[in-house]
Amino acid sequence: MPAKIPPAAAIVALALIVAVLSLHRLGAGDVCTGNEAVEGVFVQQMVEHGNLLFPVENRNVPMYKPPLFHWTAVAIDRLAGIQKVTAANLRLPSALYAIAGALLTMLFAYELLGLDAAVLAGLALAASYQYISQGRFGRVDMTLCFFETLSLFAFLRWLPSDATLSGRAARFESNLPALYLMAAALGLGVTFGSNLELGVGSAALAHAIAASPVVSPVVPSDLIGPLYFESSLITDDSFVGWGAAAAPSGAGLGVELDREALARYRIDE
C-alpha cells in the first residue's frame, strides 16, 4: 500500500514550486514595459525620496493606482535595509503576493474539499502562465489578486454553519442565498438544483430560475420534482417536463392547490 503524503508536505512543496517559478532570475530583465516603469517611478519616489503619501511622476503626475503594492515594496526595502530601487526589489512584492495567493488557495481548498482539491488548485496556479507572469511584474495586479482572493475566502469562511448539517459543505449548504448573491456579484453562472420538491416548490423554483440574471448557459438547471410523484398536490404541474420547464403564469406562483389530492393524502393522528 503506497504511503500517503502528509497534507502539509504536499501544500508546502507546491508553494515552493510557485516560489521558484516566481522568484527565479526575478531581476534579470530590465524594467522595460510602460506600466511597470510607471509603478517603478512611484516606488522610487517612496523608497529613495521618502514621498510615501503623494509621490508624483515627472514632478506633476500624481499616483493613480491604489498604493498598497507600493507600500509593500517600501516595507520590504526598509526591513532589508535597501535604499535603491532595482528591477528585482520592484517586482518582489508581486512575487511574494503570488506565492501567498497560491498558498491561501491551497489551504482553503484543503479545508473545504480535501487534499486532492488542494493539490489540483496548486498545480493549476503553478501551470498558469498568466498567474506566474503577473507575479513577476512590478505592477499592482498581483496585489489586487491576492486581496480579492483573501476577501472572497474570508467571506466564505465566516459564513455561519448550520449545526444540523455535517461534512465539509455544511457551511455552504446552510447559506445558499448568500452564495447566490456572491456568485451574482462575481458574474459567475448559477445552476439551480431540484430536491424532489412538490408542485408549489417547483413553481417557486421555476420563477426563481426565470428571474435570475446569472443562470448558467453551460450547466442546465435541474427542475424535476413533479416528475417523480404520483401527485404533486397542485392542479396542473405540466410546466415541468422532461428536458424543459417554464414558469407558470397566473396570480402568485401561478399554481393552485389540488384540494382533492390534499384530502386523499392527508394523514390524521
* pLDDT tens-digit series, residues 185-242: 667 777 787 878 898 988 988 888 888 777 777 677 778 888 888 888 888 888 888 8
Number of domains in the chain: 2
Q: Are residues 144 and 22 in the same domain?
A: yes
Of 141, 157, 173, the residue at which a domain comes to its end is: 157
What's residue 170's pLDDT? 59
Domain span holding position 52: 7-157
Q: Are residues 17 and 146 in the same domain?
A: yes
Contact 205, 226 (CB under 8 A): no
Label each residue of 52-116 as H, E or C.
CCCCEECCCEECCCCCHHHHHHHHHHHHHCCCCCCHHHHHHHHHHHHHHHHHHHHHHHHHHHCHH
> Does residue 224 fall inside a structural domain?
yes
pLDDT at 167 over 70: no
> Does residue 146 fall inside a structural domain?
yes
What's residue 140's pLDDT? 93
Q: Are residues 22 and 120 in the same domain?
A: yes
What's residue 69's pLDDT? 95
Q: Please indicate, yes or no, whether the overall pTM of this predicted structure exceeds 0.75.
A: no
pLDDT at 24 over 90: yes
Cα(62)–Cα(139) distance, rounded to whole angstroms?
16
> Does residue 78 fall inside a structural domain?
yes
Cα(34)–Cα(143) distance, rounded to whole angstroms?
18
What's residue 1's pLDDT? 43
What's residue 122's pLDDT? 95
Q: Are residues 27 and 145 in the same domain?
A: yes
Q: Are residues 29 and 116 in the same domain?
A: yes
